[in-house]
Structure 1
């Protein structure tokens, strides 16, 4: 595995992911709900039109999306869990606005009742069985959503989420993350990096939700994630061989962070999983 790369000349999702495994079958789904999550991101709830072929996916996988009258195939990460799908028969996408034809269609033309075809793909995912066999600890929303009378996944000892966004308003799923933290005290923590904004206060409100923020996780502002922060955060753990890191975001950011985790923190490359769509 190499953590250095040059910018890809390919801009098409299918070309960038041509070597990545995906399921052969396509499934038609209906848009059942559209929500403006942040100033630039909308979420979409999708429901299969029929029960066959069956949809199966792992946390972290994405969808090829085929839109009628749009020649470009979209590629969007699934933002809901497999457990949620099994309970509701729906899955969610969160799509940031851009002029790329699929994203532009979802933001400017998609309406309730529209039908698109999807196909599951991706090698960036969390497999609980595999992690148990490898003895690693990681994050999986399914494991955090404890059911009455059932214990949480005892394979997980500590989860630390480092989340970077430009501004407070662009922290997608902030309330969901904070709810997970509250419901899993001592297990789950989050550090928010707001690269273009000062630290929020309890009187600060969200543009999208208009809810005040109180008792929130740590904010680190006017700063990006860097090597020193990772070393300070992780080197107190004397058993790094059980740590698993999942990285997603811009390619250069993933390369930088992965390099810091190996050279600065001391992780091995097989402890790091990157979401690279190229």
Structure 2
């Protein structure tokens, strides 16, 4: 998630845990996911690096006074890979955010540039009291970023004990009208379709006119329920099901401020608030 608002990322996250070490990374690859999001592969020049799924990077860019804050979207294993360890970021276009604007410069101007990064944040999987039995991920827009790292971590087998994952994803439809150009939908459905994660995927898509039809569609072998509307509290409650008082169930919520604040507040009476975890970057 890119840092926004009057305060800089470092000021707003001053109370968050962060590593002491800075790592040098090189912009090794840049992919345009859709008109709003770019995907960056940061090859580790000094590393490998360790992080927990859900954490972010203080990102220091040459010539930019303030550090940016962007969530790591790759699994922790990628940063330990041999011989090519890397970190991945998905950054939404944001002209008023100087670090994000730099990353949205023409690709040939920035590819190969060296940055410095530092790991931080406490919105992580697994939660502090151990691996849950059931996980409900609730993503809104680029709020999917920390959750895809967590899902990938579970899919690699590190979340042994997680028997049920519900992934609720609310997003705008890209201008080209292609569902698969919704950021990380291809990756999410692939993990479910290959059987690496057990559970279900539900997609809530807003678009102009009748661009999206309600129904169930197969994507990468996963059966995805598509709803042409906004995600609601009732959708989250249905995903939690009868396990709302079960201490083995945890809900992760990450998305735009209005959506996140509303869901977290309303989930308070529904289940133990300590089992509803969220990331706020505003």
TM-score range, shorter chain: 0.7 to 0.9
Compared CA separation, residues 129 and 89, structure 1 to 2 (3 A): farther
| Residue of structure 1 in register with 2:12 after alignment | 16
Question: Is the contact between residue 180 and residue 188 of structure 1 (CA under 8 Å) also seen in structure 2?
Answer: no
Name the CA distance, whole Å, in 2 between partners of 1:230 and 1:131. Answer: 22
Q: How does 1:192-203 map to 2 (within 5 A)?
A: 192-197=203-208, 198-200=211-213
TM-score, normalised relative to structure 1: 0.80
Following TM superposition, by how much is the alpha carbon of 1:213 offset from its aligned partner in structure 2, in angstroms? 8.0
Compared CA separation, residues 186 and 68, structure 1 to 2 (3 A): closer
Any idea what SS the aligned residue of 2:104 has? helix
Equivalent residue for 2:155, pick from 137, 144, 168: 144
Name the CA distance, whole Å, in 2 between partners of 1:66 and 1:117. Answer: 5
Residue-by-residue CA offset, 1:176-211 (whole Å, 9 max, x unaligned): 111111112781311111122542599x9xxxxxxx
- Is 2:99 the partner of 1:102? yes
RMSD: 2.8
- Is 2:250 the partner of 1:240? no
Following TM superposition, by how much is the alpha carbon of 1:143 offset from its aligned partner in structure 2, in angstroms? 2.6
Indicate the structure (1 or 2) with the bigger Cα radius of gyration: 1
Point out the structure with the larger strand share: 2
Question: Is the contact between residue 45 and residue 92 of structure 1 (CA under 8 Å) also seen in structure 2?
Answer: yes
| Residue of structure 1 in register with 2:230 after alignment | 224
| Residue of structure 2 in register with 1:65 after alignment | 59
Can you give the 5+ residue segments of structure 1 that lack an aligned partner in the other structure? Answer: 1-7, 147-151, 205-211
Name the CA distance, whole Å, in 2 between partners of 1:84 and 1:274. Answer: 24
Can you give the 5+ residue segments of structure 2 that lack an aligned partner in the other structure? Answer: 136-149
- Is 2:127 the partner of 1:114? no
Any idea what SS the aligned residue of 1:95 has? strand
Following TM superposition, by how much is the alpha carbon of 1:246 offset from its aligned partner in structure 2, in angstroms? 0.9
Compared CA separation, residues 185 and 86, structure 1 to 2 (3 A): closer
Equivalent residue for 1:29, pick from 25, 44, 48: 25
Count of residues in Structure 1 that have an aligned counterpart in Structure 2: 251
| Residue of structure 2 in register with 1:256 after alignment | 262
TM-score, normalised relative to structure 2: 0.79
Name the CA distance, whole Å, in 1 between partners of 2:62 and 2:69. Answer: 15
| Residue of structure 1 in register with 2:200 after alignment | 189
